[in-house]
Amino acid sequence: MCIFFGASSSPACANYALRKTAHDNKDQFDVEVIDTLLNNFYVDDCLRSTSTEEKVTSLAQDLIDICGRGGFRLTKWVSNSKSVLESIPLSERSAETKVLDFDESLPSQKALGML
């Protein structure tokens, strides 16, 4: 399948190819991985959360693996968990994020009696 990016049909073609990848590989991956492919992608963005960092780390690796089977390369990974991001190769992480280190002592100010 060849997808022409920028054409008005590109999102539908990408969605079809992603769904086909999920269906073609449903017997080799956990149902949560297949469900994520089918229900948590909007065009080329995936938004998914899990209850633990271990689960999302495993899910991320499985998504990389299954998408690779369909000819997709997942990139621009972002997470609010440092350990999850460290499990993703640096080359696949988003370069456009801001690092906020809340472990540092930030200045505080009172407003309306609240700190």
- The model's pLDDT over 44-85, given as tens digits with 9 standing for 90+, comes to 789 999 999 999 999 999 999 999 999 989 999 998 888 999
Q: Is residue 65 part of a domain?
A: yes
Question: Does residue 79 belong to any structural domain of this protein?
Answer: yes
Per-residue model confidence (pLDDT) at position 63: 96
For residue 113, the model assigns a pLDDT of 67
Average pLDDT, the chain: 85
**Is 78 part of a structural domain of the chain?**
yes
Report pLDDT for 115.
Answer: 59
Q: Residue 77: what residue type?
A: W
Rg (CA), the chain: 18
> How far apart (Å, rounded) are the C-alpha atoms in residues 63 and 34?
9
pLDDT confidence of 96, banded at 50, 70, 90?
Answer: confident
The domain of 39 spans: 10-92
pTM: 0.78
Total count of domains within the chain: 1
94 has a pLDDT exceeding 80: yes
Contact 73, 49 (CB under 8 A): no
